[in-house]
Amino acid sequence: MHLDENHSHGSSSGPLSHLMEEEPKVQINLAEPDVISSIAPAHLNENENENEKTVGPPPDPQDASPIGEMVSPAPQRNVSKAAGITVIVTLAGVSFLNTMGSGILIAALPTMARDVGLPPGLMLWPASVYALAAGALLLIFGAAADVVGAKLMWVSGSFLFIAFTLGIGFARTGIQLILFRTFQGIAIAMCLPTAVSLITNTFPRGSWRNTAFAMNGMGQPLGYSLGLVLGGIFTDTIGWRWAYYLMAIINVFLSVASLWSLPTVHHYSEKRWTTRLVHDIDWVGAIIMSAGLALLFYVLAAVSTS
């Protein structure tokens, strides 16, 4: 007994006695969700995962499926259907007349040179100066249109094109023919760069804009082809002058329709348009580039003439 008492007394007073007397305690901090989730049943964790999936961030519109894109509503036009058709016909029509005049000239050039007394050395100049003037001034008129407005620039060039087309029909000398063809090229340079701006400001992205660009580009080869045919027909029948009269008559209708159909495009600024025209355009760069294009076309014209 004495040994048992000593053994029990020694064990109770030993270094491990406090571990045997105290029970383990578990403290749970409710502010820590990881602890709760570690002791929660498995089916509760699964429900929480499902809820997180359902209340996640909204899907990105860019990740929409092709089916959603197919059923999305088409963009609306900025003008009515009648005005949209008129815009397409007007811009494509002037693009058509641009090359139609050149086709008529090529087909009727021998007769024209004989009627106006054009020397053989200047036989190809009526065709060359047109491309020279139009190509050299595209950048300048395009930059000026950003200040004064695309519609004003296009309408001004279209009406000037009518006047110079009639001037070609009334020309009596070779110099007059060359000059009117030069002025005609200047007038068409006012229309060509602004047509792109008018189309993009009239139609949003979609089928209407694609149709407008397609028709505008298609007008040039069709105009040249028809000009070759009409030039030969008019030259052999009522005379080549009537071919240009017909061009002017068609252009009158297109120009009048443009006053109603074309949108007004302005780049608003606190500066006056005269100040912007002087200071906001890189005239030095535009003139240098135009002079380079003019020199290139001049060399091509001289080589083709020789």
Name the residue among 181, 151, 174 with its Cα closest to residue 247: 181
Q: Are 237 and 246 in contact (CB under 8 A)?
A: no
Q: What is the pLDDT of residues 220-234, one digit of tens each?
A: 899 999 989 988 899
- pLDDT score of 72 more than 80: no
Q: What is the pLDDT of residues 10-56, one digit of tens each?
A: 444 444 444 444 454 545 444 444 444 444 444 444 444 444 444 44
Q: What is the pLDDT of residue 119?
A: 83
Per-residue CA distances from 228 to 103, 108, 171, 221 (Å): 4, 8, 20, 11
What single letter denotes the amino acid at residue 96?
F
**Strand, coil or helix: what is 295?**
helix
Percent of the chain, pLDDT > 90? Answer: 24
Say how far apart CA 286 and CA 142 lie, in whole Å.
Answer: 10
Top mean pLDDT of 2-6, 191-195, 263-267 is at: 191-195
Average pLDDT value for residue range 146-159: 88
Q: What is the pLDDT of residue 279?
A: 65
In order, the DSSP letters of 98-154 are: HHHHHHHHHHHHHHHHHHHT--GGGTTHHHHHHHHHHHHHHHHHHHHHHHH-HHHHH
Say how far apart CA 103 and CA 1 lie, in whole Å.
Answer: 135
Average pLDDT value for residue range 105-130: 85
Q: What is the pLDDT of residues 76-89, one digit of tens each?
A: 455 678 888 888 99
Say how far apart CA 183 and CA 297 lie, in whole Å.
Answer: 16
* 65 alpha-carbon distance from chain centroid: 27
Q: Are 281 and 143 in contact (CB under 8 A)?
A: yes
- pLDDT score of 260 more than 50: yes
Average pLDDT value for residue range 167-177: 91
- pLDDT score of 287 more than 70: yes
Say how far apart CA 306 and CA 298 lie, in whole Å.
Answer: 12
Say how far apart CA 185 and CA 188 lie, in whole Å.
Answer: 5
What single letter denotes the amino acid at residue 169?
G
- C-alpha angle 265/266/267, rounded to 5°? 135
* Burial group, residue 168, by CB count within 10 angstroms (0-12, 13-18, 19+): buried
- pLDDT score of 1 more than 80: no
Average pLDDT value for residue range 3-8: 44
Q: What is the pLDDT of residue 157?
A: 92
In order, the DSSP letters of 140-195 are: HHHHHHHHH-HHHHHHHHHHHHHHHHHHHHH--SHHHHHHHHHHHHHHHHHHHHHH
Q: Are 203 and 78 in contact (CB under 8 A)?
A: yes
Q: What is the pLDDT of residue 266?
A: 62
Q: Report how many helices (DSSP H) and strands (DSSP E) the chain contains, helices first.
A: 13, 0
